[in-house]
Amino acid sequence: MVELLVFYFFGAVLVISASMVVTIRNPVFAALFLVLCFFSSAAIWLILQAEFLAIALVLVYVGAVMVLFLFVVMMLDINIARLREGFVKFLPVGIIVALLMLVAMSLVITSGYFNREEPAIQVSQVAGYSNTTQLGKALFTEYLYPFEIAGVILLVAIIAAISLTMRKPRSNKTQQPSLQVRASKKERLRIIKMKAEPKQDAGGQSS
Amino acid sequence: MLEFISQNVFSPLTAFLLPSAWQPYAVYTLETVTKIVAILIPVLLTVAYLPYAERKIIGYIQNRIGPNRVGFFGYSLAGIGQPIADAVKLIFKEIIIPTGANKTLFIIAPILSVAPALAAWAVIPFNDTLVLADINAGLLYVLALTSLAVYGIIIAGWASNSKYAFLGAMRSVAQIVAYEIAMGFALVGVLIAAGSLNLGEIVRAQEGWFIHWFWLPLLPLLGVYFISGVAETNRAPFDVAEGESEIVAGFHVEYGGMAFSVFFMAEYANMIIIALLTSLLFFGGWLSPFHGIPYLGAPSIVWLLLKTSFFLFVFLWLRATFPRYRYDQIMRLGWKVFIPITIVWLVVAAILVVLEVPPWFK
């Protein structure tokens, strides 16, 4: 009973925050609502006893991805009035995309994956069950090939992103810490021996 | 003792007040709240007295005395009343909200920064049995929560409507994102060595004396972890987010009174968490360094507290010793030095585990 109440609570928060993400005007608030959205879906995963997925969601999306999102959104000077014009112009495209997503989602939901018979004993209630271990075993045995392919695709994406930023020749001046650290006394300091100059006027101003 | 309280106070009380169907839930909730309070009161006391210790220790390092005036009942007692006096002063100060600031976010930001720092204590084991939530993915949970601390800083910087605060927040975000990766990889090394994400299991995997703990096989990871911890908590020499010589006080420049002190509390609570985790993950937690000797060799919470205190001292020692890092050097250290070191040592750790190198891996 408690579990159901908790589920409804987080489900409601999830739905409300998700709709706020697309309706709220201020983009910073939209990003913050997206954070809330991830949080409540992580909580729902925790109810399903998928603690690894839940914490990984918080760690990766909330802890890293959304921080960078906020970083960018806060730095942009967004003109909200200009963002809101052209609503009618983009409406048909939006409706088509929404319909496509609706069709895709209903295909998934009606495919029978969601109406499976509940097993008599929940796997997660067996003593010594660890969600992380099971997930690791599945990833590295049964799904090893797709897993490795996903890894390679991510690597390609990283290299592409870096090469996009490096495309232009470097225009800004940067310091090279490695050169600075390597600099020695010999390169920077020259000690010259010279004779002491004779005093100009004795008893004058001491300087 | 908790069972005693539960049977004699909570059960009769809830039986009197609530219908019997709700009673087990109510007793469970009350018990959990009692445990939380029992953990948080010592934590908050430490958070209050750590700045005092810091001022004293840095004072002695710099050949000063440090705070020595405020005491109780006319006795100065080496200034032991200083934290209380500071707290009272901060509580009675007005919280000023700058014009043009986003009021909601301005108030929420300190809460967001202190909440993860306190919530992380839920999974910390203090000895073999004393732990609030013995969850399987404890290490991941702590890592996730420490990564959330950045929200308090970034929201504070943005909501203040001040350039200095915003610059501090931007610096902090870039720094925390960089060091979190190195920190995560260092923790992956620990979990390869221990074969578990449960903090209790990690300590049990280090069974033995000083040499058996993970600090020796994972020495580079220990260095990376602790230094990343210093960077993650925005402590000197990585405190560019505050950087009072360049950007006044960084992200909390507009905060005063209790709102400021909540940021302060979060910083110190995070420091304690990092010190505690270093002793749990690399220095055998509650295990004694004199394993096998009677009395002295018995595992005890005292060892954990001693180790944690030592690492807290190292935090203060670093602050007294090093000047602030230059910003580009911080970035270089995080991305170009620490991450390659951790990746190389992950391979080494995996080889050590696979070859079952004694005395650590059996």
pLDDT one-digit tens code per residue, B25-51 = 788 888 888 888 988 899 989 998 998
The predicted complex's ipTM stands at 0.81
Q: What is the largest CA-CA distance in chain B?
A: 65
Nearest-Cα distance to chain A for B351, in Å, is: 18
List C-alpha distances in Å: B233 to A61, B102, B258, B272, B314: 20, 25, 20, 10, 14
In the 8-state DSSP scheme, what is residue A126? S
pTM of the model: 0.83
Determine, for residues B150 and A63 on separate chains, whether the beta-carbon distance falls below 8 Å: yes
Predicted confidence (pLDDT) at residue A154 exceeds the cutoff of 90: yes
Instruction: Please give the Cα distance from B61 to A38 (Å, whole number).
Output: 46
Residue A150: per-residue pLDDT: 93
Determine, for residues A178 and B332 on separate chains, whether the beta-carbon distance falls below 8 Å: yes
Kindly indicate the confidence band of residue A97, based on its pLDDT and cuts at 50, 70 and 90.
very high
Asked whether the CA dihedral A15, A19, A20, A21 is positive or negative, the reply is positive
For residue A88 the two structure tokens come to 């009618």
Q: What is the 3-state secondary structure (H, E, C) of B149-169?
A: HHHHHHHHHHHCCCHHHHHHH
Contact partners, residue B271, CB within 8 Å, separation at least 6? B50, B233, B235, B312, B315
In the 8-state DSSP scheme, what is residue A190? -
Predicted confidence (pLDDT) at residue B265 exceeds the cutoff of 80: yes
Kindly indicate the confidence band of residue B203, based on its pLDDT and cuts at 50, 70 and 90.
confident
Looking at beta carbons, which residues of chain A come within 8 Å of B174? 71
Which residue did the predictor score with more confidence, B76 or B274? B274
Asked whether the CA dihedral B119, B120, B126, B127 is positive or negative, the reply is positive
Kindly indicate the confidence band of residue A127, based on its pLDDT and cuts at 50, 70 and 90.
low
List C-alpha distances in Å: B314 to B53, B217, B274, B348: 12, 21, 11, 27
Nearest-Cα distance to chain B for A154, in Å, is: 16
Residue A84: per-residue pLDDT: 66
User: Lowest mean pLDDT: which of A94-103, A157-166, B246-255, B329-338?
Assistant: B246-255
b/e sequence B189-207, b meaning 16+ C-beta within 10 Å: bbbbbbebbbbbbbbbbbe
Cβ pair B300, B152 in contact under 8 A:
no
User: Hey, which residues does B75 pair with through a beta bridge?
Assistant: B72
pLDDT tens per residue across span B339-352: 999 999 999 988 98
Instruction: Please give the Cα distance from B272 to B288 (Å, whole number).
Output: 20
Predicted confidence (pLDDT) at residue A203 exceeds the cutoff of 70: no
What DSSP line would sit under B60-112, residue for residue? HHTT-----S--BTTB-GGGTTHHHHHHHHHHHS--PPPTT--HHHHHHHHHH
CA neighbor of B360 nearest in space, from B208, B203, B139, B189: B208
Residue A81: per-residue pLDDT: 63
Residue A83: per-residue pLDDT: 65
Predicted confidence (pLDDT) at residue B11 exceeds the cutoff of 80: no
**Average pLDDT score over residue span A105-113:** 80
Kindly indicate the confidence band of residue A10, based on its pLDDT and cuts at 50, 70 and 90.
very high
List C-alpha distances in Å: A103 to A106, A108, B32, B44: 5, 9, 46, 53
Residue A16: per-residue pLDDT: 93
Helix extents (H) in B160-240: 163-194, 199-204, 219-232
Amino acid, res. A130: S
Instruction: Please give the Cα distance from B204 to B201 (Å, whole number).
Output: 5
Which residue did the predictor score with more confidence, B98 or A153? A153
Determine, for residues B173 and A132 on separate chains, whether the beta-carbon distance falls below 8 Å: no
Residue B250: per-residue pLDDT: 75
Nearest-Cα distance to chain B for A113, in Å, is: 28
pLDDT tens per residue across span B94-109: 888 888 778 888 888 8
Q: Which of B:36-95 have CB within 8 Å of A? A: none
Kindly indicate the confidence band of residue B9, based on its pLDDT and cuts at 50, 70 and 90.
confident
Residue A148: per-residue pLDDT: 92
Residue B298: per-residue pLDDT: 78
B136 touching chain A per CB within 8 A: yes
Instruction: Please give the Cα distance from B169 to B106 (Å, whole number).
Output: 13
Residue that the structure tokens 């309706």 belong to: A23
Kindly indicate the confidence band of residue B147, based on its pLDDT and cuts at 50, 70 and 90.
confident
- Give me the residue from A35, A59, A70 closest to B144, CB to CB: A59
Looking at beta carbons, which residues of chain A come within 8 Å of B104? none
Residue A121: per-residue pLDDT: 57
pLDDT tens per residue across span B266-315: 889 999 999 999 998 888 888 888 877 777 777 888 888 999 999 999 98
Residue A116: per-residue pLDDT: 63
Which residue did the predictor score with more confidence, B248 or B165? B165
Q: What is the radius of gyration, based on Cα positions, of chain A?
A: 30
> What is chain A's mean pLDDT, rounded?
82
